[in-house]
């Protein structure tokens, strides 16, 4: 039985896991969870029985459900280590995890749609841009010391799986990426890799027709 990924096309957290699955050549089935229709999607009784946080993604694999994107990435790396998403060197692995934490814990949560709903409507774009720019400034400085072709050296890692979705969202929020030349250079490399292309929101089965394949 193929793994089942409960995913939403535009979710950056789902995108991280899709990328890892494609990178590791793991065939999977997508089950779309519509975050814009919560009562029939993420807050449905069926989905809450699988994931009580009502978040995406959830991955059903090896007969078990795993929730939270970073936990899923580590499970895949530990059970299916090749092609790798963590370097062999312990120090470089730590650098990858630092960048993952900067993005997943420091940047992504604050511009999230759920948080934006608590901000006055006409101030939401300013809110998102403030927190993304704050995080990207720190990330750009970190990458100055770690980056090669990708986030850490010249091999794709979990950090790259997290970076591209965050930049995609930043562009959608009109963040001026010219301020971040290292981030932009890495992303231009990632956007040419087949696994990252396959995982792109516009290539997902639940992507709206008008955006599909663009």
How is residue 28 written in tokens?
């999977």
For 119-184, give the secondary structure using H, E and C: CCHHHHHHHHHHHHHHHHHHHHHHHHHHECCCCCECCCCHHHHHHHHHHHHHHHCCCCHHHCHHHH
pTM: 0.93
- Residue 210: pLDDT band by 50, 70, 90 thresholds? confident
Query: Is it true that the peptide bond before 179 is cis, omega within 30 degrees of 0?
Result: no
C-alpha distance across the termini of the chain, in Å? 31
CA separation for the pair 186, 153 (Å, rounded): 11
In the prediction, which pLDDT does 17 show?
Answer: 99
Which residue(s) pair with 64 in the sheet? 61
Q: Is the dihedral of CA 181, 183, 189, 191 positive or negative?
A: negative
Taking 80 as the threshold, does the pLDDT of residue 112 lie above it?
no
Q: How far is CA 203 from the centre of its chain?
A: 15
Bigger pLDDT: 212 vs 155: 155
pLDDT value at 111 more than 70: no
Local confidence band at 123 (pLDDT 50, 70, 90 cut-offs) = confident
Residues with Cβ within 8 Å of 85's Cβ and at least 6 positions away in sequence, in order, are: 20, 23, 24, 73, 76, 77, 156, 157, 158, 161
> Same CATH fold, 90-196 and 4-83?
no
Give the H or E element holding residue 66: strand 64-67
pLDDT at 51: 94
- Asked if 196 and 51 count as a contact pair (C-beta separation under 8 A), the reply is no
pLDDT at residue 99, as a whole number: 98
pLDDT of residue 131: 84
Kindly state the average pLDDT of the residues 200-214: 87
Q: Which CATH number is associated with domain 90-196?
A: 1.20.1050.10
Domain formed by 4-83, architecture: 3-Layer(aba) Sandwich (3.40)
Query: Residue 173 pLDDT more than 80?
Result: yes
Sign (positive or negative) of CA dihedral 62, 66, 69, 74:
negative
- Predicted confidence (pLDDT) per residue in 19-59, tens digit: 999 999 999 999 999 988 867 778 898 999 999 999 999 99
Look over the chain and give the mean of its residue pLDDT values, rounded to a whole number. 93
102 or 118, which is more confident? 102
Q: Are 36 and 182 in contact (CB under 8 A)?
A: no
Cβ within 8 Å of residue 109, ≥6 positions away: 115
Q: Which pLDDT score, from 0 to 100, does residue 114 have?
A: 66
- Strand ranges across the sheet with 4-7: 29-32, 4-7, 58-61, 64-67
Locate the domains of the chain by residue range: 4-83, 90-196
> What pLDDT does residue 125 have?
76
**Cα–Cα distance between 170 and 183 in angstroms, integer?**
12
């Amino acid at each position: 039985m193929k793994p089942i990924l409960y995913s939403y096309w535009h979710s950056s957290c789902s995108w991280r896991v899709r990328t890892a699955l494609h990178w590791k050549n793991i065939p999977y089935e997508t089950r779309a969870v519509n975050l814009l229709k919560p009562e029939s999607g993420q807050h449905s009784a069926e989905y809450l029985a699988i994931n009580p946080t009502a978040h995406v993604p959830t991955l059903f694999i090896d007969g078990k459900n795993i929730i939270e994107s970073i936990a899923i990435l580590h499970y895949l790396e530990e059970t299916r280590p090749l092609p790798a998403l963590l370097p062999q060197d312990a120090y470089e692995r730590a650098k990858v995890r630092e960048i993952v934490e900067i993005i997943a814990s420091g940047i992504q949560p604050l511009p999230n749609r759920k948080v934006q709903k608590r901000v006055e409507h006409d101030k939401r774009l300013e809110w998102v841009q403030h927190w993304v720019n704050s995080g990207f400034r720190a990330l750009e400085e970190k990458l100055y010391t770690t980056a090669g072709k990708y986030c850490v050296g010249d091999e794709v890692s979990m950090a790259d799986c997290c970076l591209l979705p965050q930049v995609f969202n930043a562009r959608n929020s009109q963040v001026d990426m010219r301020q971040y030349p290292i981030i932009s250079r890495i992303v231009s490399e990632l956007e040419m890799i087949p696994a990252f292309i396959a995982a792109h929101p516009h290539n997902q089965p639940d992507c709206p027709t008008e955006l599909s394949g663009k």
